Structure 1
Amino acid sequence: MNVLIVRTSSMGDLIHTWPAITELKTHYPNIRLTWLAEESFADIARLHPQVAEVLTLRWRSWRKGLLRPAAWRELRELKRKLRDTHFDLVLDSQGLIKSAIPARWARAPLAGLDWKSARESLASLFYDKKHTVSRSLSAIDRNRLLFGLSFGYAPEGAPSFGVAAGERPAWMLSGRYAVLLHATSRASKEWPEARWIELGGELSARHDLVTVLPWGSDKEKARAERLAAQLPAAVVAPKMSLSEAAGLLGHASAVVGVDTGLAHLANALQVPLVAIYTDTDPQQTGVVETPWATNLGNVGQCPTTEEVMRALQARRDWT
């Protein structure tokens, strides 16, 4: 059976689809899975070992350049690829117009969320098979239930992301390190720089850990450099692909991060993790709490450095 999964963005949304992929392949190991994702997040789809092929689209780029012939050529090529490949079923787990349209291009039976369940209700009009999934559930539970309803099984047990860390980055010297994920999508989600400096100092003095500071934009790089200049043992990471970031996170002794997709990636790789929330509710957007991972904070709350250290030291495998 040849199946197309449509989940185009964002990073966290793709990571939250991994447990459903793992569970589906447990029930039906002979299914061949193709995943359609935004080009900038395709590495996340590729990290799952049960995904045979990843197709990419560039909605964001195409939307900005609809008058460019190159954009239309790329659109036609993707449409041709989807039309000419035989799929027995297409499952759009995103529930948006921008995901439902290319899902329909595949010309196969199309399953998705119903009018009340989809993030954009109009997307449900594109689907042949529509399923009800409560919007009060976490993203991971919603995906698992949608997959189960679409393929005829009931999700059971704790979620299994099914993804390994990959190789430790060659630029990272030997020894133990902690990754500080200081960058997030908006200022209201940030943790104060002074607390990152306190935390890095504690990790170095009490646990002999080097702190690693990733970044994704010039603004984030500048903050990483400011923090590193005030920390006793810190490394500003080079520009990394998502697969390289997975290697960095997967071999860390600890990860502390704000509300960002990389925190969910660390969660999936089962490293000791504390996720900090200052402007969002972790019940809705937090990491999956496990013996390795916990959430701190909430809307209008800002955890202290001491609270973060206590939570980190309570995680399994913390040394």
Structure 2
Amino acid sequence: MSASVKKILVVRMSAMGDIVMASPILRTLKTLYPNAKISWAVQPEFADVLRGHELLDELIVVPKGQWKKAFKAFQWWSLWQEIRAFKRNLRAKEFDLAIDLQGLAKSGLIVKWSNAKRKIGLNSREGSNKWMDEVVDGNAIDGALIGSEYQAMAQFLGDKRGNFPMHLPAKLNTPNWSSLKKPLGKDYIVFCPFTTRPQKHWFNDYWQQLAKNLPAGEKSSINIVVLGGPGDIEAAEDLMQSMPENVVNLVGKTSIQEAIAVIRHSIGVIGVDTGLTHMGIAENKPTLALFGSTLPYSDTRSGKSKVLYQKMDCSPCRRNPTCEGRFDCMQSLTPELVANEWQKLQ
């Protein structure tokens, strides 16, 4: 049966952390279908998470933002033409198997448009289940494990491995280290303070105190690198105001692949629920994940990494906090606690 599968489409368009956690599926597919060509459909802003991946044959960039912009501008004729051309090119690839790892209408449509011979969805919702031949229950694997839903899909396909390691591209676009005003040095720690929702954030004064509590505090020979995207620049400027001198601000100054390289060469990562933190675990670095309103996993599958999470009566509240902006769950993760847990990982 595997010999008949020559072309495979994987759809996980966003977000960065979810793509990282879904990356083990590439090893699954290469093992089960060694002669198949694997394509991955992704939104342009997240393409660099997978670009150049040695287990991936093709990236299909889905210009969702561009289509949305055209729709809002009432450019419906050009939008229809763009989508028609995209669908035509997608179907011309003649996929034997298409896998929707996102389970939403937007990802399900890509699978539907592919006209693949076999279409499988993961937790398909928003009506996307009607476009699938089969739907996999992502809760079939212990939800405490990082990437558990994707492993459920892998097992459904026939992957019997107990482990399910994440894979980021082996070769990356690395930063121009010489351009940095302050050299990072051989040993440095990465802070990942920024994410999409305020209830997932830790507090500036906590980050600042942590930087001083880590080995040798302000006089440390170990630098701390702060990472984040272009949308985090203003927040990073506020954060840096009371940081010790050994903290280097790279927020908005790296591409995704450069950020992966920074993490890859670090001695470890401390971060909130954001894609960059998950990358620390993927790179097998000592990683502390600070979770509160969300708990995407509690088991990192790694003795080098740990989730810090203090369960409250209201947690995890996800998008609906009830604490009137106090974010008690994150308040309970004190700088002293985080510093002590970091020492245990060393």
- TM-score of the aligned structures, taking structure 2 as reference length: 0.81
Determine the structure 2 residue equivalent to 1:140: 147
Determine the structure 1 residue equivalent to 2:30: 25
CA shift in 2, pair 1:43/1:70, >3 Å = farther
Alignment size in residue pairs? 308
Mapped pair 1:162 → 2:167: yes
Deviates more, 1:53-62 or 1:141-150: 141-150
Structure 1 gaps, min length 5: none
Deviations along 1:79-121, one digit per CA (max 9) or x if unpaired, are 121011121111112111111111111121232237xx32x15
CA shift in 2, pair 1:279/1:145, >3 Å = closer
Aligned equivalents of 1:73 and 1:204: distance in 2? Answer: 58
Aligned equivalents of 1:287 and 1:244: distance in 2? Answer: 27
Which residue of the other structure, out of 219, 223, 243, is the alignment partner of 2:235? 223
1:2 and 1:87 in contact (8 A); partners too? yes
AA of the residue aligned to 2:196: S
Structure 2 gaps, min length 5: 1-5, 316-327
Aligned to 2:112, the other structure's residue is in SS state: helix
Aligned equivalents of 1:85 and 1:27: distance in 2? Answer: 20
2:9 and 2:97 in contact (8 A); partners too? yes
2:136 and 2:152 in contact (8 A); partners too? no
How far off is 1:167 after superposition? 6.0
1:37 and 1:45 in contact (8 A); partners too? no
Aligned equivalents of 1:189 and 1:198: distance in 2? Answer: 18
How far off is 1:165 after superposition? 7.2
- TM-score of the aligned structures, taking structure 1 as reference length: 0.87
Determine the structure 2 residue equivalent to 1:50: 55
AA of the residue aligned to 1:29: P
AA of the residue aligned to 1:222: E
CA shift in 2, pair 1:213/1:70, >3 Å = farther
Give me the CA root mean square deviation: 2.4
Aligned equivalents of 1:7 and 1:287: distance in 2? Answer: 22
CA shift in 2, pair 1:262/1:2, >3 Å = same
Runs of 4+ with >4 A deviation: none
Determine the structure 1 residue equivalent to 2:303: 291
Percentage of matched positions with identical amino acids = 27
Which residue of the other structure, out of 11, 14, 17, is the alignment partner of 2:16? 11
Determine the structure 1 residue equivalent to 2:253: 239
2:99 and 2:121 in contact (8 A); partners too? no
Which residue of the other structure, out of 121, 124, 132, is the alignment partner of 1:127? 132
Alignment of 1:255-274 (within 5 A): 255-274=269-288
AA of the residue aligned to 1:242: I
